[in-house]
Amino acid sequence: MIQIEYFLIVAAVMMFAGIFGFLTRRSTLAILLSIELMLNATDINFAVFNRLMYPAGHEGYFFSLFSIAISAAESAIAIAIMINIYRQMKDISIDKLQKLKW
């Protein structure tokens, strides 16, 4: 059986890849993808903790399910806002989101 550490390492790598992407990508859609990567890393964490450490209950699985659903709702709203920006600026790069600052 695969040790729990390997799963957690995969999740941690995904998490930090997501954070790195969030900080470095210039397109808002790529930023959104990075955030999905972070959310999926947490889902893996929940499922793994539930399966390998506390197999008696299903709390972790349910948490992953809910978090998948909620992150889908969030992406829907985020993309709607980006379409709105695109309609007015014809560009969704975050370099263009600079009208409001300091």
Q: Least distance in Å: CB of 23 to other proteins? A: 10
Closest CA to 6 of 48, 59, 42: 48
> Which residue among 1, 88, 90, 95 contacts other proteins (CB under 8 A)?
88
Question: HSE (CB half, 13 Å, CA atoms) of 1?
Answer: 6
Decide: is 97 part of the binding site for other proteins (CB under 8 A): yes
Q: Which of residues 51-80 bind other proteins (CB under 8 A)?
A: 53-54, 57, 59-60, 62-63, 66-67, 70-71, 73-74, 77-78, 80
Exposed e or buried b for every residue in 39-52, given b needs 16+ CB within 10 A? bbbbbbbbbbbbee
Decide: is 27 part of the binding site for other proteins (CB under 8 A): no
